[in-house]
Amino acid sequence: MRIAFLVVGIISFLLLGAPVRAQQDFSEIEIETIPVVHGIYMLTGVGGNIGLSVGEDGPLLVDDQYAPLSEKIATAVAELSDMPISFVVNTHWHWDHSGGNENMRARGAVIVAHENTRRRMSTTQFVEALDRRQSPSPAGALPVVTIEEGVSIHWNGDEIRVFHVAAGHTDGDVVVQFVGANVIHAGDNYFNGRYPLVDFSSGGTLEGMIATVDAILEIADETTKIIPGHGQLSNRVELQVYRDMLATVSERITRMIDEGMDRDAVISAKPTSDLDEVWGQGFLGPSMWVGIIYDTLSTVH
Ligand SMILES: [Zn+2]
């Protein structure tokens, strides 16, 4: 299997003459377990932050990163519970959040996600913002329970609300609220301390991202712990700052589009220069991010 994959990789390299995405090496990656509140943890490795609930009914995960990390993730979970993983909730379809699904399902977990997440995982996707083509996931990786608006999972002594607000990061985003524990996993509508991807190829919109953040701000209070899709464990105050940054940039770039500036002119004008030091040091640098926001705003314009 691995050899076949390598051969395909070499052939496509030779045929296309284009650089093949280097196969990521996960061998050195360690999973870190960060306590959030009693019974809830955030696990980090590579890819989206994982939420974990443990208790009398069994472990429930929010997202599962990449397939090569499943064993390490299961080991980290086993440190906290001797029961098998019962559920995985996918916050959206992206590979760095759902890549472990097939392995987790093979271990007995029920995968829960928005219906658009299952739909996108079932077919080839092209994410224009990242110039990335993603093959369909194997049948065993697909969500088993799909939702359109929301569902509650009554598990580990808590009500775990899984709900969709709007097409923000993608059109299949869900927010996961641990009601009793007062913890929220925001998925990729919240990149803490860095510019977020708006995956407009997957139906995402900046307006929907802001609406989703507003819905989280609405249900959060000053003691709520917020797990972002990427970045450090957070809270309502930080999420509000992030929301204000999104709104500021949205306003600025909308105005420039209204003035008739094209994509290159908007990027050259550096409309985020005062924000870049704080937000532009992550996965998306300033020019790339401004380009993505231009694209998402101009398509709905
Ligand atoms: Zn994502």
Map out the domains of the chain with their CATH numbers.
24-217+227-233 (3.60.15.10)
Q: Band of the pLDDT at 143, cuts 50, 70, 90?
A: very high
Torsion angle in degrees (nearest 10) through CA of 4, 5, 7, 8: 120
What separation in Å is there between the alpha carbon of 85 and the centre of ligand 1? 23
Closest residue by Cα to residue 221 from 179, 261, 260: 179
User: What tokens were used for 3?
Assistant: 């050899």
Report DSSP state, residue 163.
E
Average pLDDT over residues 1-30: 56
d(CA 167, CA 143): 19
Residue 15 confidence (pLDDT) above 50: no
Share of the chain above pLDDT 90, in %: 90
- 75 neighbors 30 (Cβ within 8 angstroms): no
If you measure from the C-alpha of residue 199 to the centroid of ligand 1, how many angstroms do you get, rounded to a whole number?
Answer: 8
pTM: 0.92
Residues 6+ apart with CB under 8 A from 130: 197
Instruction: List the structure tokens of 135.
Output: 């093959």
Strand-pair partners of 159 = 154
- Ligand 1 mean position, distance from CA 192 (Å): 13
Q: Residue 227 Cα, ligand 1 centroid: separation in angstroms?
A: 14
Q: pLDDT tens across 106-137, in order? A: 999 999 999 999 999 999 999 999 999 999 99
Q: Which two tokens stand for residue 68?
A: 């090569």
How remote is the CA of residue 96 from the centroid of ligand 1, in Å?
Answer: 7
Please tell me whether residue 142 adopts helix, strand or coil conformation: coil
Distance 189 CA to ligand 1 centre (A): 8
Residue 41 neighbours by CB under 8 Å, 6+ apart: 33, 34, 35, 51, 52, 54, 80
Residues 190-228: tens digit of each pLDDT:
999 999 999 999 999 999 999 999 999 999 999 999 999
CA–CA distance, 3 with 14 (Å, rounded to integer):
16
Q: What angle do CA 100, 164, 136 make, to 5 degrees?
A: 35
pLDDT confidence band for 75 (50 / 70 / 90): very high
